[in-house]
């Protein structure tokens, strides 16, 4: 019957889907496999993915990869240039910079994942609720969002850390507080375009509750752009965390946080470039990788591209 | 029959269009041949039949991924396949123009419609602005717009769909082209407006001796509006027939399409469903 | 077939009753009244068509019945019960809707199975697997399509899924909003046949909105013609073909659906001029 019309597009689909899925898990697997194929088509995305995966491995196996103990000071070997013994050189206390960077990756990941776990659901929930219900709910939520968004992120984070006191966990809370409003705005914009869509009207007509519509029908459609945005945000989070660390308000010494390492190294920056350049390069590489990955994910997850 | 009475303006022989996609080449148009004289030629088919691709290929408005081959693709004395981009620029809009389905997307939203039409004329003719404006007003009148002076100054969002489509027609015909390609020009319009737009198009085609290629999915409309019909299926022309003879179409696909149209006059319990024969793809 | 169904009207009144329906958008001076005193009723098992051009208010009537607007004036009742302003779940079991665009009415991230299981889950109906299999068979889709996503289906198949989703709650009334206008003619014929079969088999009542008189004439028993928010003419569909309709607007629509002609274009032009004069 109708299936036999081979328009050029259906012909393509038929070529990709040689087998009709026989279970929902198989359908999901096919979907994931197709996503993965599209993700790996762009070399820049693959580069980003490789760096991020590398970061994960580095963090997981830090004790085995690090050549030295990141906290042990050796005052006879301070400020050594990169060489065979110390690949990235040593700092003012004779600690091995490579090992500190490797251990620092755990802190970076810790910050990113905590911020994302806090920010994603809050931003999504606020955006979806205010977009779907509109009216005074929307007004209240969006004015709160406006207040948060009208401060530069780092300044707001500074204010929070100043109030809460310096420390890694407080820095994470501060960053999370500044990072959710853009996500909420994004989710709201997506929801506004979806709430009059026929498929939403159809479930309304089936008698679905608002909660069910939001959770099962609207949020999944916003999820992809939120994930893309979160991935892009990770670069910003890393930079803000490094900035707070640099200002002495984030991770406290001797924790090998990358921003804090730059901060303590800047006194010797003129003579010993590696103190600043190595953690700086690490921050740059990781944030670039997250940006590239975010771009690639957008191509894959955007439902409009299907 | 009409191609014997007047010389062909456009000759197409064995036109093939393939699109390169991620999954290989898709053969969208397969060996299409036809001549166009001073007549209203319809290309009908269902979505994906390649009818719009044919229209776009004639103006070489196809995406970069397209590979075009033809034994012959001639417009007057020009070989459309081998001519330079500059010659094409000269032909496009001036000697051969295209009317799209939805005027909303074809008109520039921040420019007055009159200026857009005048601009189209100025792009191909070196005349003073005032003369172009004069011609624009005359053209608006020709497409039966009642107050051309007022409409001249409107922005696209201020005109209705039917008027927008007539403005598009004015813009496409002001350069006095020899061939007009209309891709579903009336399917976004209501019945009463559609009739008026068609009448406008009909008048202009017969007064100015244009060749019209009318791309449509609507067999009923094409049957009464056009002179000749090419029926496309899966990239091929399966039947070429005078519109008046459509009742006596030979090809099972054409007959199937006609039979599956619901009609006011003949109430049937069930509509016959088109049985697709794989042999149509090969024939 | 249609005639016999129309005849056996039950004693408890029409299935759909619309009385003095008014609807405006906006308030004060900028208020725009889109429905003016719309009245009609549809008997049990009848298929009733609403035709008109864009902006005539035909889809708006449908959406009022579907509970998409809550500020209408007048009275709407279904199976003798007055409808409230808000959608309630009992109404969902009685009235379902099929949309024009099969690409937009299915959730792009849900498989056919998820889409069909959703109404069952909302209403706490068990035995889902069997019901989904049964409904897929009913709309003529192979059971292997269960785990496909909408983008893996053709337009006609999607519309079948949308019909299946509307029917899985076993409603008595189906609101059809241009159900075939986005489809190719050969696919349209399949869907129209399916809708005709389902009506006979399950004794459904249809309210069909379309701009295509051919579709109305094929599927419906009676038709109301709408123009600028008013019902201007009501006819038995059988009467459309034989004797010429008396109302000039209906006549124009009928003629236009048959073929194009210069004379009709002329009539349409004067008609439009008259209409714009009335509106002004």
> pLDDT tens digits for C14-61?
899 999 999 988 777 777 888 999 999 999 999 999 998 887 889 999
Give residue-wise pLDDT tens across range C121-161. Answer: 999 998 999 999 999 999 999 998 999 989 889 999 999 99
Residues of C with Cβ-Cβ distance to A306 under 8 angstroms: 108, 151
Domains of chain A: 93-306 (1.10.3720.10)
Does residue A129 or residue B200 have the better pLDDT?
A: A129
Model confidence at A139: pLDDT above 90: yes
Determine which of A1, A2, A219 to mutate to test the interface with C (most C C-beta atoms within 10 Å). Answer: A2
Cβ of A198 within 8 Å of Cβ of C89? The answer is no
pLDDT for C276: 56
* CA dihedral for B135, B138, B143, B147, sign (positive or negative): positive
Phi/psi for C42 (5° steps) reads -125, 130
Model confidence at A14: pLDDT above 90: no
Residues of A with Cβ-Cβ distance to C187 under 8 angstroms: 2, 5
pLDDT for B212: 93
C111 touches chain A (CB under 8 A): yes
Query: Which C residues in the span 92-151 are in contact with B, Cβ-Cβ below 8 Å?
Result: none
pLDDT for A285: 92
Would you say B192 and C53 are in contact if contact means Cβ atoms under 8 Å apart? yes
- CB contacts < 8 A (A, B): 26
> Which residues 6+ apart lie within 8 Å of A205 measured at CB?
C66, C67, C87, C92, C95, C96, C97
Candidates B23, B26, B276; nearest CB to A4: B276
Give residue-wise pLDDT tens across range C53-82. Answer: 887 889 999 999 988 888 889 999 998 888
Show which residues on chain A lie within 8 Å of chain B, measured between beta carbons: 1, 4-12, 15-16
C182 touches chain A (CB under 8 A): no
As a whole number, mean pLDDT of residues C198-208 equals 93
pLDDT for C109: 87
Cβ of C184 within 8 Å of Cβ of B196? The answer is no
Q: Where are the alpha helices (DSSP H) in chain B?
A: 2-5, 51-58, 85-91, 103-106, 113-122, 129-142, 148-152, 161-173, 191-208, 219-225, 252-259, 279-282
Cβ of A202 within 8 Å of Cβ of C162? The answer is yes
Cβ of A202 within 8 Å of Cβ of C105? The answer is yes
Place of tokens 């019957």: A1
Cβ of C192 within 8 Å of Cβ of B271? The answer is yes
Place of tokens 């905590």: A114
3-state secondary structure of B267: coil
pLDDT for C275: 59
Question: Measured between CA atoms, how close is A228 to chain C, in angstroms?
Answer: 17
Split at pLDDT 50, 70, 90, the class of A304 is: low
Give residue-wise pLDDT tens across range A158-216. Answer: 888 888 888 888 889 988 988 899 999 999 999 999 998 999 999 999 999 999 999 99
Cβ of A12 within 8 Å of Cβ of B19? The answer is no
3-state secondary structure of C37: strand
As a whole number of angstroms, the distance between CA A79 and CA C158 comes to 69
Residues of B with Cβ-Cβ distance to C266 under 8 angstroms: 199
In chain C, what percentage of residues exceed pLDDT 70? Answer: 90
> Which residues 6+ apart lie within 8 Å of C13 measured at CB?
C80
Element containing residue C132 per DSSP (H, E):
helix C128-138
Over its C-alpha atoms, chain C yields an Rg (Å, rounded) of 19
pLDDT for C9: 44
pLDDT for B83: 84
- CB contacts < 8 A (B, C): 110
pLDDT for A13: 38
Chains touching C (3+ CB pairs < 8 Å): A, B
Split at pLDDT 50, 70, 90, the class of C243 is: low
Split at pLDDT 50, 70, 90, the class of A2 is: very low
pLDDT, averaged across chain A: 85
Model confidence at C246: pLDDT above 90: no
Split at pLDDT 50, 70, 90, the class of C12 is: low
Would you say C143 and A18 are in contact if contact means Cβ atoms under 8 Å apart? no
Split at pLDDT 50, 70, 90, the class of C5 is: very low
Give CA B68 to chain center in angstroms.
19
Determine which of C147, C150, C185 to mutate to test the interface with A (most A C-beta atoms within 10 Å). Answer: C147
* Token pair belonging to A194: 């979806």
Residues of C with Cβ-Cβ distance to A24 under 8 angstroms: 111, 113-114, 147
- Please name the residue of chain C whose CA is at the shortest distance from the CA of residue B217: C184
pLDDT for A292: 92
Spell out the per-residue pLDDT of chain B, length 283, in tens: 444 456 788 999 999 999 887 777 888 899 999 999 888 999 998 888 889 899 888 888 878 888 888 998 888 888 888 888 888 888 888 888 888 877 777 888 899 999 999 988 998 888 999 999 999 998 888 887 888 899 999 998 888 877 888 888 888 888 888 899 999 888 877 787 788 888 888 888 888 888 999 999 888 888 889 999 999 998 999 999 999 888 888 899 999 888 888 888 777 878 888 888 877 877 5
As a whole number, mean pLDDT of residues A145-157 equals 86
Give residue-wise pLDDT tens across range A76-107. Answer: 888 888 888 888 888 888 899 999 999 999 99
Cβ of C148 within 8 Å of Cβ of A220? The answer is no
Query: Which C residues in the span 141-180 are in contact with A, Cβ-Cβ below 8 Å?
Result: 144-145, 147-149, 151-152, 154-157, 162, 165, 169
pLDDT for A1: 37
Does residue C230 or residue A303 have the better pLDDT?
A: C230
As a whole number of angstroms, the distance between CA A93 and CA A77 comes to 8
> Which residues 6+ apart lie within 8 Å of A180 measured at CB?
A118, A119, A122, A123, A126, A148
A73 touches chain C (CB under 8 A): no
Q: What DSSP line would sit under chain C, residue for residue?
A: -HHHHHH---TT--SEEEEEEEEEES-GGG-EEEEEEEEEEE-TT-EEEEE--TTSSHHHHHHHHTTS----EEEEEETTEEP-SS--HHHHHHEEEE-S-TTTSS-TTS-HHHHHHHHHHHTT---HHHHHHHHHHHTT--GGGGG--GGGS-HHHHHHHHHHHHHTT--SEEEEESTTTTS-HHHHHHHHHHHHHHHHHHT-EEEEEES-HHHHHHH-SEEEEEETTEEEEEEEHHHHHSSPPSSHHHHHHHHHHH---HHHHHHHHHHHHHHHHHH-
State the CB neighbour count (10 A cutoff) for residue B99: 24
> Which residues 6+ apart lie within 8 Å of A112 measured at CB?
A234, A237, A238
- pTM of the complete model: 0.84
Model confidence at C3: pLDDT above 50: no
Does residue C258 or residue A70 have the better pLDDT?
A: A70
B23 touches chain A (CB under 8 A): yes
Candidates C184, C260, C264; nearest CB to B47: C184
Residues of C with Cβ-Cβ distance to B261 under 8 angstroms: 185, 189, 214
As a whole number, mean pLDDT of residues A233-239 equals 84
Place of tokens 């210069």: C262
Half-sphere exposure of C263 (CA within 13 A, CB side): 4
As a whole number of angstroms, the distance between CA B207 and CA C115 comes to 55
Residues of B with Cβ-Cβ distance to A12 under 8 angstroms: 21-23, 26
Cβ of A6 within 8 Å of Cβ of B234? The answer is yes
Determine which of C152, C165, C185 to mutate to test the interface with A (most A C-beta atoms within 10 Å). Answer: C152
* Token pair belonging to A257: 């946080």
As a whole number of angstroms, the distance between CA B256 and CA B271 comes to 10
């Amino acid at each position: 019957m109708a299936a036999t019309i081979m328009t050029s597009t259906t012909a393509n689909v038929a070529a990709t889907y040689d087998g009709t899925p026989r279970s929902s898990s198989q359908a999901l697997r096919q979907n994931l496999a197709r996503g993965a194929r599209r993700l790996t088509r762009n070399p820049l995305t693959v580069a980003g993915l490789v760096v991020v995966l590398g970061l994960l491995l580095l963090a997981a196996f830090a004790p085995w990869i690090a050549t030295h103990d990141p906290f042990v000071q050796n005052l006879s070997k301070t400020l050594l240039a990169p060489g065979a013994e110390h690949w990235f050189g040593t700092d003012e206390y004779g600690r091995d910079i490579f090992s500190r960077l490797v251990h620092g990756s755990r802190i970076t990941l810790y910050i990113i994942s905590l911020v994302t776990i806090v920010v994603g659901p809050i931003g999504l929930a606020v955006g979806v609720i205010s977009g779907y219900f509109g009216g005074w709910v929307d007004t209240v939520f969006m004015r709160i969002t406006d207040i948060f968004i009208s401060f530069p992120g780092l300044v707001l984070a500074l204010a929070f850390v100043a109030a809460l006191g310096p420390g890694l966990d407080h820095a994470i809370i501060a960053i999370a507080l500044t990072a959710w409003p853009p996500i909420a705005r994004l989710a709201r914009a997506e929801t506004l375009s979806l709430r009059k869509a026929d498929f939403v009207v159809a479930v309304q007509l089936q008698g679905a509750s608002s909660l069910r519509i939001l959770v099962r029908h609207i949020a999944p459609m916003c999820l992809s752009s939120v994930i893309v945005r979160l991935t892009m945000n990770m670069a910003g989070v890393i930079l803000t965390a490094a900035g707070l660390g640099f200002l002495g308000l984030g991770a406290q010494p001797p924790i090998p946080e990358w921003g804090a390492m730059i901060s303590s190294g800047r006194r010797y920056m003129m003579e010993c470039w590696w103190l600043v350049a190595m953690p700086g390069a690490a921050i740059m590489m990781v944030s670039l990788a997250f940006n590239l990955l975010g771009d690639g994910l957008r191509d894959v997850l955007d439902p409009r591209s299907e | 029959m009409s191609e014997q009475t007047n010389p062909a303006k456009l000759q197409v022989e064995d036109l093939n269009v393939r699109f390169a996609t991620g999954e290989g080449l898709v053969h969208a148009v397969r060996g299409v041949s036809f001549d166009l004289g001073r007549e209203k030629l319809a290309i009908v088919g269902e979505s994906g039949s390649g009818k719009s691709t044919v229209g776009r290929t004639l103006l070489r408005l196809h995406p970069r991924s397209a590979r075009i081959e033809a034994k012959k693709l001639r417009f007057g004395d020009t070989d459309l396949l081998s001519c330079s981009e500059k010659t094409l620029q000269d032909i496009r809009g001036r000697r051969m123009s295209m009317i799209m389905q939805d005027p909303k997307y074809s008109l520039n939203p921040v420019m007055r419609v009159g200026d857009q039409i005048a601009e189209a004329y100025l792009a191909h003719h070196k005349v003073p602005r005032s003369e172009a404006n004069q011609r624009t007003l005359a053209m608006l009148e020709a497409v039966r717009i009642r107050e051309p002076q007022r409409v001249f100054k409107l922005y696209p969002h201020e005109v209705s769909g039917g008027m927008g489509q007539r403005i598009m027609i004015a813009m496409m015909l002001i350069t006095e082209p020899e061939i007009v390609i209309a891709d579903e020009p009336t399917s976004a319009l209501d019945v009463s407006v559609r009739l008026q737009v068609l009448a406008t198009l009909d008048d202009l085609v017969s007064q100015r001796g244009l060749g019209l290629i009318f791309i449509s999915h609507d067999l009923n409309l094409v049957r009464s509006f056009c002179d000749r019909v090419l029926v496309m299926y899966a990239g091929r022309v399966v039947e070429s027939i005078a519109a008046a003879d459509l009742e006596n179409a030979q090809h099972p696909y054409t007959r199937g399409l006609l039979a599956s149209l619901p009609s006011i006059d003949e109430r049937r319990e069930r509509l016959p469903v088109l049985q697709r024969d794989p042999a149509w793809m090969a024939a | 077939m249609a005639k016999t169904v129309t005849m056996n009207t039950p004693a408890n009144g029409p299935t759909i009753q619309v009385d003095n329906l008014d609807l405006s958008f906006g308030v004060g001076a900028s208020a725009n009244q889109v429905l003016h005193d719309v009245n009609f009723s549809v008997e049990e098992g009848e298929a009733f068509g609403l035709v008109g051009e864009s902006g005539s208010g035909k889809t708006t009537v449908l959406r009022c019945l579907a509970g998409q607007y809550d500020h209408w004036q007048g009275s709407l009742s279904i199976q003798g019960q007055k409808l409230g302003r808000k959608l309630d779940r009992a109404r969902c079991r009685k009235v379902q809707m099929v949309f024009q665009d099969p690409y937009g009415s299915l959730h792009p991230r849900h498989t056919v199975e998820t889409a069909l299981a959703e109404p069952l889950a909302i209403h706490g109906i068990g035995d889902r697997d069997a019901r989904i299999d049964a409904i897929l068979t009913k709309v003529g889709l192979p059971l292997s399509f269960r785990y496909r996503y909408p983008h893996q289906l053709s337009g006609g198949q999607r519309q079948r899924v949308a019909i299946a989703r509307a029917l899985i709650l076993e409603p008595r009334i189906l609101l059809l909003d241009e159900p075939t206008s986005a489809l190719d003619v050969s696919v349209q014929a399949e869907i129209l046949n399916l809708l005709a079969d389902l009506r006979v088999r399950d004794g459904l009542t249809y309210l069909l909105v379309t701009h295509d008189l051919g579709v109305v004439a094929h599927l419906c028993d009676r038709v109301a013609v709408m123009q600028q928010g008013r019902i201007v003419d009501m006819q038995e569909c059988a009467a459309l073909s034989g004797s010429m309709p008396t109302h000039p607007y209906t006549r124009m629509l009928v003629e236009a659906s048959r073929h194009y002609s210069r004379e009709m274009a002329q009539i349409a032009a004067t008609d439009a001029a008259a209409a714009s004069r009335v509106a002004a």
